[in-house]
Amino acid sequence: MASPPARIFVLTGAGISAESGLGTFRDRGGIWERFDPMRLATPEAFAADPDTVLDFYNWRRRNALAAEPNPAHRALARAQARLADGGGRLFLCTQNVDDLHERGGAEAVTHMHGALLRARCTGCGHGFACRGDILRADPCPGCARTGTLRPDIVWFGEMPMHLEAIDARLREADLFVAVGTSGSVLSAAGYVTQARSLGIRTCELNLEPSDNASLFDEARYGPASEIVPAFLADLGLA
Ligand code: OAD
């Protein structure tokens, strides 16, 4: 078997956690079909009605904590370790705010849309790990003010996190793989185009063709729990 690419950039989206029981956003019955993102996932919504926004993320945090990683999360973690053993790197960049990659065994995960299990103070900027509900009455552990804590999540109208590091890792990749993402939210949606312009081979692994499907060199369609382990096995990284 040919040796696997040395540097793989993997971008994951909600589809990889779908079989763990966490809803996707834009599929039929998805989160943004049931809930209005403009009332729940913007800084303006938080300013206007913080309790409703906190409740929404408290509910999602509880769901994420109750979920378990599936074979796709685990296969990526194993491939990351295999590649690292051989001197390569699998850079795992996720749009997901759950911690299923970490609990599936991944060592380093870049959460470009933030993390449900972190909170941040809008007053002093202090960020901290947080597994329980965030309530308006909770004091910030940094400045002790109340009413200032929010989930450390990227909302619509805010910049994704870690963009410089992501750009650097994409530029050095030999292979770009998008898993379970509709390809409809920037900046992540632009990575396949950027990869192509850099001459990097691109592959889509999704339940069905995404909005960006025609931009990929290669695609495999099916549930992530099946196609991700199979794809990585074909690369010699099972
Ligand atoms: P979407 O809900 O937009 O897309 C999920 C993709 O996963 C779709 O293309 C589905 O076909 C696919 N899918 C569903 N089930 C799958 C399965 N079992 N196996 C493989 N693929 C499956 O979710 P994202 O692309 O992640 O941002 O959405 C991007 C961002 O939009 C999210 O991070 C979130 C949202 O607004 C913020 O909240 C900032």
The pLDDT tens digits for 189-222 are 899 999 999 999 999 999 999 999 999 999 999 9
What is the pLDDT, as a whole number, of residue 197?
96
Give which of 203, 200, 192 is closest to 235, Cα–Cα: 203
Rounded distance from Cα 62 to ligand 1 centre (Å): 19
Rounded distance from Cα 181 to ligand 1 centre (Å): 4
Same domain, 61 and 89: no
Residue 4 in this model has a pLDDT that exceeds 80: no
Task: Reply yes or no: is the peptide bond before residue 3 cis, omega within 30 of 0.
Answer: no
**What average pLDDT does the segment 100-120 reach?**
97
Q: Among 104, 136, 153, give the residue marking a domain's end.
A: 153
Confidence of residue 2 (pLDDT cuts 50, 70, 90): low
Q: What is the pLDDT of residues 54-101, one digit of tens each?
A: 999 999 999 999 999 999 999 999 999 999 999 999 999 999 999 999
What is the pLDDT, as a whole number, of residue 5?
78
Q: Which of 101, 113, 126, 162 is catalytic?
A: 113
Residue range(s) defining the domain that contains residue 124: 36-66+118-153
Residue nearest to atom 4 of ligand 1 (CA): 182
Confidence of residue 138 (pLDDT cuts 50, 70, 90): very high
pTM of structure: 0.97
- CATH number, domain at 130? 3.30.1600.10
Residue 1 in this model has a pLDDT that exceeds 60: no
> Is 30 within the bounds of a domain?
no
Q: Is 111 a catalytic residue?
A: no
Burial of 51 (0-12, 13-18, 19+ CB in 10 A): exposed
> Is 227 within the bounds of a domain?
yes
| DSSP element (H, E) containing 114 | strand 114-121
Q: Among 131, 153, 175, give the residue marking a domain's end.
A: 153
Structure tokens at 148: 């200032």
Rounded Cα distance between 123 and 202, Å, is: 42
Cβ atoms within 10 Å of 36's Cβ, excluding its own: 10
Does the CB atom of residue 14 touch ligand 1 within 6 A? Answer: yes
**What average pLDDT does the segment 129-147 reach?**
96
Same domain, 187 and 134: no
Rounded distance from Cα 24 to ligand 1 centre (Å): 5
Q: How many domains does the chain have?
A: 2
> Is 31 within the bounds of a domain?
no
Cβ atoms of 149 and 134 closer than 8 Å: yes
Residue 186 in this model has a pLDDT that exceeds 90: no
pLDDT, averaged across the chain: 96
204 Rama sector, left if φ>0, alpha if ψ -120 to 50, beta otherwise: beta
